[in-house]
Structure 1
Amino acid sequence: MSPAGLRRRQTRRKIWLNLHLYLGLSAGAIVALAGLTGAILVFYEELQEILNRDQIVVAVPTHPQVRSLDEMVAAADSLKPSGSRFFKVYYPRRPGLAYKLLYYASVSGEADGDGYYLFVDPYTAQVTGRQLWHPAAGYWRRPLVSFIMQLHYCLLLDRFGVVLVGIVSALSLVSILTGLVLWWPSTGRFTSALACRRRAGWVRRNYDLHKLAGVLSFCVLFPVLFSGVYFNLPEPVNRVVGRFSVLTRPNAWEGIDSEKLYSEPALGRDPIGFQAAEAAVNRAYPGGRLWMLTAPTGERGVFRIAKRDAAELSGFALGYRDFAVDQYSGRLLQVYEAGRGSYGDVFLDWQWPIHSGQALGWSGRIAVFASGLACPLLYLTGVLRWLQKRRATHAREN
């Protein structure tokens, strides 16, 4: 390489190095916290069951017969917090676990008060406990898993925190890309570039640890960070993806815009009830398991029902189907199938399975767990590396 070419290369490397450094120092602490809390939340359901075992884990009878959801809601209604209404139910992921019925208190006619879980034994339709999950005022009354989730999502800073975490995640995408560029061996000697010198001093070992943690976690960490940007800043991501493909997903969390769908009340006709709504979905689409049901809001609201693990859909996208059901006739008003829409829809369908690690089962979850732990490790070793270089520079100057 000519001297001029070498200087250009050194200049480019200096730019990449400064960009990597300043992005890491400015955003690294938040990413480290988000990564650590995200690693914990990979086991979100298991943690709930361990920490709240007395209320969630139930005995399975010799001849188990699951009671109807109507009976369970009636049992929970008798013990619900004053002024609250049934909002949705999360079905248990396996036998021996309680149904989680979410109730919200209303302050101004909306579900804007405290949110409570009422746990109901599916074999006896008896309430096994109640837990404050979404306190309307503040975060400190939340149970541990709910607290960690909000710390991960918004740093306990409400809407400002949601936007901040989204922006920091976007900056971190640039940071890890610059780190990959700085690491990439121009000679093609990848074995040497991945070497970790055990007998070197602690300065070199810290550098090798930072390098290896970044390179080995890149393939998981990059898509996980991108999905984090999507969940916190969905509108900008939708605008970018929408330039390449038509999008029908209304938001990051559901496939159907149920606010634009309405039930048709008829004179003398009562709502069909929860069990009938489940049955309408199961008759039309027997595959998969019920995962969530949201109750209609008002006289013209619709049931929103979600199923997952439908084998006929992509197993990697968790086999999700979303349904909107007329609360009077039981007619399916709309069905959304993950992985079956436009290219843009399919791309966005994958974001939650990727972010949670569930796209690849236990191997995916462990990979996301490890990449989450890599975030504080990268931040710590990066700061130490910066301090080492600062001390070396001061020593040379003096």
Structure 2
Amino acid sequence: MKKIIGWLHLWLGISSGLVVLIVALTGSLLVFEDELDPLFHPSFFYVTAPAGARPLSVDALAKTVQAQYPGYKLYDINIEQEASRSMIFALRKSKTDVLDVAVNQYTGTIVEAVKEQRRFFYVVLQLHRYLCMGAVGKVITGISCSIFLILVLTGLVLWWPKRNTRRQRMQVKWDASWKRLNWDLHAVLGFYVHIVIFTIALMGLTWSYEWVNNLIFLTFDGKPYKKMTAPKVTPAKVMHTAYLDQVLATTDSLFAYHGPIKIRFSEKKDEAITVSRQNTDAAVSNITSFAYFEKGSGKLVKVRPYETESRGMKARRLVYPIHTGSLLGWPTKIIALIAALVAASLPITGLCIWLNRKKKKQPSKAGKNKLPDDVPLLRKDSVSSPAGIS
């Protein structure tokens, strides 16, 4: 049975290794996207406020942006809590032509406009989810993610030590031969992060397969997921001059906690404006409440606070922070980063183990350079990978 599991681990690892490497490396970057994006591009995200200046009307800023880019329609507005952060307007001409415009809310000056498809973390996300190949890439990453779960389980079986080899399987011998060190990096490090990478990969299936997403709602609500849409409204005949300011003020009063606000405009004329606010004061991340407003008047149509969400929706909202490691802030992000980097190394170390096996075997050195006696890969009658995840 162990030979069969080793064979399965080896060839599944070889078939999915490149995709796992790409997804894990891009995932390690996305763990700290919120911190790195402003760091890489500070002129886009940060502004200097003149002494004593107060933010200008959101409506006035929106008109300035629309006038500057008449071929685009306003899609959403991102408003951060920090006074030093710029206000970012997303304008859309089509699904593949989106313009992100950073505005100094104190002066009304357009700081910079960038095509969303050219932003660094947009490209990283496309690689992570779709390999920059659209629907085909989504299928490939979904299959590879499923294979990765099998690799974690089979790797754990292959790693599982006998009583007299338990210590060898729990530590990396840094001063050993290259062959032994490579095996330790694959098997031992793979063991220490296997729970984290298995959980991260399992959460990732939610974006690959609709049935996984529905399973969450079936488990907690007893019924499949129903897509949330903005309520139907009739837009106001007369546009109020400061209705967006009213929307912002109402949102502040409804959700009186710290957190960024996103105002999103529907492409359908008869749908309300959707406003969301993330609660950064909450113990875990991605706790978000929603409110809906009539376009043109700022009249409140519906409130959807997080507290009233179904158990299924609350569970679904935990998927993203668990997957990215942002669940409890920096501690879980660091754990996720380490796990992602180890996961990225496993296809490389696993490939090296396989290539070493193909070479003509030489008698092993005694002492510290000797590999564990129960490593299946080093036996002449075995074709299995020793441990970890390839």
TM-score scaled to structure 1, two decimals? 0.82
Structure 2, unmatched stretches of 5+, are 364-379, 382-390
Maintained 8 Å contact 1:280/1:332: no
1:180, CA displacement in angstroms? 1.6
Q: 1:92 aligns with which of 80, 97, 113?
A: 80
* Equivalent position of 1:371 in the other structure: 339
Deviations 1:5-53 (A, max 9, x none): xxxxxxx212221221122111121011111111112232333323333
Q: 1:352 aligns with which of 301, 312, 320?
A: 320
Deviations 1:158-202 (A, max 9, x none): 111122212211211111121122223353975442122234321
Maintained 8 Å contact 1:30/1:168: yes
Maintained 8 Å contact 1:248/1:345: no
Quote the Cα distance in structure 2 between the aligned partners of 1:287 and 1:199.
Answer: 53
1:238 pairs with 2:206: no
1:60 pairs with 2:36: no
* Equivalent position of 1:9 in the other structure: none
* Equivalent position of 1:42 in the other structure: 31
Maintained 8 Å contact 1:209/1:381: yes
1:380 pairs with 2:355: no
* Equivalent position of 1:257 in the other structure: 229
Q: 1:129 aligns with which of 109, 112, 116?
A: 112
Maintained 8 Å contact 2:232/2:272: yes
1:167 pairs with 2:139: no
Maintained 8 Å contact 1:277/1:303: no
Quote the Cα distance in structure 1 between the aligned partners of 2:50 and 2:358.
Answer: 66
Quote the Cα distance in structure 2 between the aligned partners of 1:62 and 1:207.
Answer: 60
Secondary structure of 1:185's partner?
A: coil
Maintained 8 Å contact 1:210/1:381: yes
1:72 pairs with 2:61: yes
Q: Percent identity?
A: 22
1:208, CA displacement in angstroms? 0.6
**Aligned in 2, Cα 1:68/1:188: closer, same or farther, shift over 3 Å?**
farther
* Equivalent position of 1:117 in the other structure: 100
Structure 1, unmatched stretches of 5+, are 1-11, 106-110, 135-141
**Aligned in 2, Cα 1:344/1:189: closer, same or farther, shift over 3 Å?**
farther
Matched AA of 2:17? G
**Aligned in 2, Cα 1:76/1:391: closer, same or farther, shift over 3 Å?**
same
* Equivalent position of 2:132 in the other structure: 156
Quote the Cα distance in structure 2 between the aligned partners of 1:67 and 1:248.
Answer: 44
Maintained 8 Å contact 1:272/1:330: no
Quote the Cα distance in structure 2 between the aligned partners of 1:79 and 1:269.
Answer: 20
Quote the Cα distance in structure 2 between the aligned partners of 1:173 and 1:291.
Answer: 36
1:371, CA displacement in angstroms? 1.8
Matched AA of 1:118? V
Q: 1:101 aligns with which of 89, 103, 118?
A: 89
Q: 2:156 aligns with which of 148, 171, 180?
A: 180
Quote the Cα distance in structure 1 between the aligned partners of 2:256 and 2:81.
Answer: 17
Cα RMSD (Å): 2.7
Maintained 8 Å contact 2:217/2:313: no
Maintained 8 Å contact 1:98/1:119: yes
User: Using CA pairs below 8 Å that are at least 6 residues apart, which structure has the higher relative contact order?
Assistant: 2
* Equivalent position of 1:8 in the other structure: none
Quote the Cα distance in structure 2 between the aligned partners of 1:275 and 1:159.
Answer: 39
Secondary structure of 1:373's partner?
A: helix
